[in-house]
Structure 1
Amino acid sequence: MKKLMVIAILVCSCITLSFSLYYVGVIFQSDLSLSSEARPMYNEHAERIVIISQEQGSFMMNEVQKGARKAAELHQLKIDFWGVYRSNLEGLIKQIDIAIASKASGIIVEGVDHPDFDAIVKKATEKGIPVITINSDAPNSLRKSYIGSDHYQEGIIMGQYIATQLKGHGVVGVIQNLVSPTTDDLRLKGLREVLSKFDGIQVVLASNDIEMSQPKGQTNDILNHNPAVNAFIGLSTDSGESIVQAARARAGKKEYPIYLFDDSPQTVMLIKNGQVKSGLSQHYEEMGVMSVNLMKRWLDATQLPLENSYFTPISVVTSPEVEVSAP
């Protein structure tokens, strides 16, 4: 009899314990579900994108990163920002090679139209890593797409604006990037195409000499050989202050209208102070968002193939508050 009672007690205890454990489990799962909904966590195996810049720390790259972070958070992607601090093809290629070795899911990089760059993009492609170029292109490479401004169209837009400002007459000195000229070549092509239609406008450049690589040296060289120059255009970004200083040092009280192809805080301040006539807004943050969105589309294999290029808006900025042209 005692044995039966002991067995019955043990059976009841086991049943009670089983029910208790079941309800504890249900409550725990419910709490975990609520916690997960309130605070989503990234999968440790989430896809990782590496964005590599030729000018790490620049205004352009900071804006690109701002947009890229927003898009990466939306898609729950891991994202790293690498780059070199001065335009340096060798350093840029080394960064891409490291990204390949680290098995990045995708690479977004400022392109360079050069065989060595094309070779490293080919290596990434062969490893199954898609490459998208941003802000500057490498059209002969195996990159999947280009996101950024149409630099040729930038030249067209700025040329039309300058021709109107000069009323079809003047000698215009052009300051360019002689070290890494690909982007500037496209801008200059568009600029010349427009200004050549005006018989009263002459375009002049500094001597094609490595000693003239800096904006100040180019400005002085143009003034030495073309004293009739009455306006300057800076094709390369962040060249404004150097052009302003050199022109003022040579001209005394004479004011030269200066036009630039960027809208960095430095350029905006020069416009606000009346030292520069206009800049060009290229909507870098939008480039960052678009590049990550398109990389995610490629990785998910949705809506493929990508278009060859995705051009972001261009606007002429005449004051910190006003954008006067947006095609």
Structure 2
Amino acid sequence: MKKLIVIAIILSSCFTLAYSLYYLLMILQSESGMMSAVKPLPYEHSDRIVIISQEQGSFMMNDIQKGARDAAETNLMLIDFWGVYRSNVEELIKQLDIAIASKVSGIIVEGLDHPEFDRMVKKATAKGIPVITINSDAPSSLRKTYIGSDHYQEGILIGEHIAAELKGQGIVGVIRNMTTPTMDDMRLKGLGEVFSKYDGIQMVFAADDHEITQPNMQTYDILNHYPKVSAFIGLPTESGNSIVQAAHARSQTKQYQIFLFDDSPQTRLLLRNGQIQAGLSQHYEEMGSLSVNLMRRWLDAAKLPLNSSYFTKISVVTSASEKESALENHTQ
């Protein structure tokens, strides 16, 4: 009886061992087949760059990303898009630090006039990671170059258009952007230079009060203190609707001329409806593609050094031109 039990245990053990060996062989064969079927990822050993934005999800960044993505594909580069959804200095600095720790090949980022930003660019440079600023600059940092609009020339261009529309006469209420003062300073410098040539044009601002920061509140404040205001210029992106509503709420009979520094979808709709007179196109897609192409040049050490800045196109978009464009698109 004992012999039968021993024989049964031995046979059972042999069967278990044989099954285990068979199962292991099948796994090895399966893995071998999978390995042979795996193909190298596209651009697996290519340079990896990251674009970090202060306004992730905005129409501006969507256009920048489109141009950058197309250029990255052409240059066989891997590209990631990071950013914050509301301007947040601390979060942007943190993402810069993470990008440096990730050992990316290059960083393209919206510049900040902030000592911590300069410190992070210096840290990246020390680790051999080039930093390029886009859309907004940080000229005091060790960034390699800046790609974007010349904000001073933006002020000149829209200022000349406003002066012509006002025929050299009028009070212009300026709606400021509290999150990007450096960019606004350059735009206001250009505006002021143009308006200084006209004795009949005066620039006015809302009270410098922390409770009066939103475009609609600034508009109300200007209307309260300057009832003879005839036009508004909005520096914050997509401020047009707030200015229009505030001005219309104050007076449904008086028509104010309204001008903006952007050509967002909201702005283009207001232009088509004749509620504002002109906007400014920044050509963001061009910024995105050019920034990636210049990063490729730097990484390849080709045609160096880079220029200090590469200014992209700016152009005035008027209500008439936008209506004409919309009509052409409708008839096609």
TM interval, short-chain normalised:
0.7 to 0.9
Maintained 8 Å contact 1:107/1:129:
yes
Aligned residue for 1:182, secondary structure, equals helix
Aligned residue for 2:133, secondary structure, equals strand
Aligned partners of 1:136 and 1:279: how far apart in 2?
19
Aligned residue for 2:211, secondary structure, equals helix
Deviation by residue 1:146-175 (Cα, 9 ceiling, x = unmatched): 000000000000110000000000000000
Question: Partner residue of 1:153?
Answer: 153
Superposed displacement of residue 207, structure 1: 1.0
Residue 238, structure 1, aligned to residue 238, structure 2? yes
Deviation by residue 1:189-222 (Cα, 9 ceiling, x = unmatched): 1001101110000100111122111101110111
Question: Partner residue of 1:23?
Answer: none
Quick check: 174-183 or 263-272, which moved more?
174-183
Deviation by residue 1:105-162 (Cα, 9 ceiling, x = unmatched): 0000000111111111111111110000000000100000000000000000011000
2:221 counterpart letter in structure 1:
D
Superposed displacement of residue 41, structure 1: 5.6
Question: Partner residue of 2:258?
Answer: 258
- Equivalences, count: 286
Question: Partner residue of 1:62?
Answer: 62
Aligned partners of 2:40 and 2:283: how far apart in 1?
30
Aligned residue for 1:162, secondary structure, equals helix
Superposed displacement of residue 253, structure 1: 2.1
Maintained 8 Å contact 1:234/1:240:
yes
2:302 counterpart letter in structure 1:
T
Matches within 5 A, 1:150-189: 150-189=150-189
Deviation by residue 1:19-40 (Cα, 9 ceiling, x = unmatched): xxxxxxxxxxxxxxxxxxxx99
Maintained 8 Å contact 1:237/1:261:
yes
Question: Partner residue of 1:301?
Answer: 301
Matches within 5 A, 1:188-267: 188-267=188-267
Superposed displacement of residue 236, structure 1: 1.6
Deviation by residue 1:54-105 (Cα, 9 ceiling, x = unmatched): 0000000000000001000001100000000001111111111111111110
Which runs of at least 4 in structure 1 moved beyond 2 Å after TM superposition? 39-43, 319-323
Name the TM-score, length of structure 1 as normaliser.
0.85
1:156 counterpart letter in structure 2:
I
Question: Partner residue of 2:22?
Answer: none
Name the TM-score, length of structure 2 as normaliser.
0.84
Superposed displacement of residue 252, structure 1: 2.1
2:69 counterpart letter in structure 1:
R
Aligned partners of 1:271 and 1:190: how far apart in 2?
23
Question: Partner residue of 1:87?
Answer: 87
Maintained 8 Å contact 1:188/1:235:
no
Superposed displacement of residue 237, structure 1: 1.1
Question: Partner residue of 2:23?
Answer: none
Matches within 5 A, 1:258-297: 258-297=258-297
Aligned partners of 2:189 and 2:40: how far apart in 1?
50
Aligned partners of 2:138 and 2:212: how far apart in 1?
26
Aligned residue for 2:163, secondary structure, equals helix
Aligned partners of 1:209 and 1:322: how far apart in 2?
41
Aligned partners of 1:322 and 1:278: how far apart in 2?
14
| Structure 2: runs of 5+ lacking an equivalent | 1-38, 326-332
Maintained 8 Å contact 1:175/1:215:
yes
1:206 counterpart letter in structure 2:
A
Aligned residue for 1:320, secondary structure, equals helix
2:121 counterpart letter in structure 1:
V
Aligned residue for 1:174, secondary structure, equals strand
Maintained 8 Å contact 2:272/2:323:
no
1:231 counterpart letter in structure 2:
A
2:225 counterpart letter in structure 1:
H
Aligned partners of 2:71 and 2:41: how far apart in 1?
16
Maintained 8 Å contact 1:178/1:210:
no
Superposed displacement of residue 322, structure 1: 6.6
2:64 counterpart letter in structure 1:
V
Maintained 8 Å contact 1:179/1:213:
no
RMSD: 1.6
Question: Partner residue of 1:46?
Answer: 46
**Matched residues, percent identical?**
71
1:268 counterpart letter in structure 2:
R
| Structure 1: runs of 5+ lacking an equivalent | 1-38
Deviation by residue 1:229-273 (Cα, 9 ceiling, x = unmatched): 010000121111111111111112211110000001100000000
Superposed displacement of residue 321, structure 1: 6.2
Question: Partner residue of 1:27?
Answer: none
